[in-house]
Amino acid sequence: MKIVNVTESLAEQKLDEIIDSLGCCKCDQCRADIISYALNRLSPKYVSTDIGRAYVKLDTMSSQFEVDLLAALYEAAEKVKKNPRHH
């Protein structure tokens, strides 16, 4: 297994779940910008094994992590809406 940032996977998954409620563009560029902006405000959680991934996923099930993740994604979407980089 390669080294993976589980926070990135979870942010992408959560964005898929909430993007319709954000009122922002859903193009690949805007999605990438939202994820990038949000990840720069969240703590990375790197793993290199399946056991590590399972442990981190348990850790991220806390309501505080969920709140932080949602807040970062909403803030990112607002920033990207005001400054879109797509054509």
Q: Which of 12, 31, 7 is nearest to 86 (CA)?
A: 31
Instruction: Please provide residue 30's backbone torsions phi and psi, each rounded to the nearest 5 degrees.
Output: -65, -40
Domain-located, residue 87:
no
Helical (H) or strand (E) element with 15:
helix 6-22
Domain-located, residue 75:
yes
Residue 57 is predicted with a pLDDT of: 78
Dist CA 25 CA 55 (whole Å): 34
Q: With pLDDT > 90 as the criterion, what percentage of the chain qualifies?
A: 70
Q: Which domain holds residue 52?
A: 4-82
Instruction: Please provide residue 60's backbone torsions phi and psi, each rounded to the nearest 5 degrees.
Output: -85, 0
pLDDT at 26 over 70: yes
Mean pLDDT of 7-33: 95
Cβ neighbours of 35 (radius 10 Å): 19
**Count of domains observed in the chain:** 1
Predicted TM-score of the model (pTM): 0.88
